[in-house]
């Protein structure tokens, strides 16, 4: 299992950063390799990615979500196995720290080598910087979902681990 952690401080209030992160369909605007994300229900998304010429589709379930605090997910079925959590930390009225943790199982030699030499770390670092630029240039979120999703029975209290 591979893991990447990254943080970025964004110059918007915590509510703005959180609200934008709940707009999963906007992810292709700041995430490299993400072709599309379709939200199919309050807790389910369908992803299409193309990384290194390899296209993959998978579903992800929101396993925990608390407004202005965290969004956690895990992939469901398919050929992509990953889980993660994004947390939002108020640094001031106008600055938020966004912390991303993703755990995944690299498939095949190319992905395993990429994980070993830090390609995935670099991708997540670049994507968090793009999120910063995206939300700061807008100054406001493109939408919001303020629902609360409690972890299910027996759920890992730290789904990114």
Residue 108 has pLDDT above 80, yes or no: no
Which residue range forms the structural domain that includes residue 68?
A: 2-24+62-138
Query: Within a domain: residue 154?
Result: no
Query: Within a domain: residue 30?
Result: no
Residue 43, Cβ neighbours under 10 Å: how many? 15
| pLDDT number for residue 1 | 74
Residue 159 has pLDDT above 80, yes or no: no
Give yes or no for a contact between 97 and 79, defined as CB atoms under 8 angstroms apart.
no
Q: Which tens digit of pLDDT belongs to each residue from 42-55? A: 999 999 988 777 78
pTM: 0.87
Residue 114 has pLDDT above 80, yes or no: no
Q: Which of 62, 56, 59 is nearest to 77 (CA)?
A: 59
| pLDDT number for residue 115 | 59
- Mean pLDDT, residues 34-45 taken together: 95
Query: Within a domain: residue 98?
Result: yes
- Residue 120: give its domain's CATH number: 3.30.530.20
**C-alpha span between 59 and 85 (Å, rounded):** 16
Query: Within a domain: residue 56?
Result: no
């Amino acid at each position: 299992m591979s893991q990447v952690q990254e943080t970025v401080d964004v110059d918007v209030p915590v509510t703005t950063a959180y609200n934008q992160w709940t707009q999963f369909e906007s992810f292709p605007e700041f995430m490299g390799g993400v072709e599309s994300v379709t939200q199919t229900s309050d807790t389910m998304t369908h992803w299409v990615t193309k990384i290194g010429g390899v296209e993959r589709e998978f579903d992800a379930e929101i396993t925990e979500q608390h407004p202005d605090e965290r969004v956690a997910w895990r992939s469901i079925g398919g050929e992509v196995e990953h889980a993660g959590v994004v947390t939002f930390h108020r640094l001031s009225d106008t600055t938020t720290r966004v912390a991303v943790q993703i755990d995944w199982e690299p498939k095949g030699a190319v992905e395993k080598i990429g994980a070993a030499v830090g390609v995935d770390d670099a991708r997540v670092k670049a994507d968090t910087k793009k999120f910063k630029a995206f939300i700061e240039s807008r100054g406001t979120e493109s939408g919001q979902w303020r629902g609360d999703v409690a972890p299910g029975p027996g759920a890992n209290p730290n789904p990114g681990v």
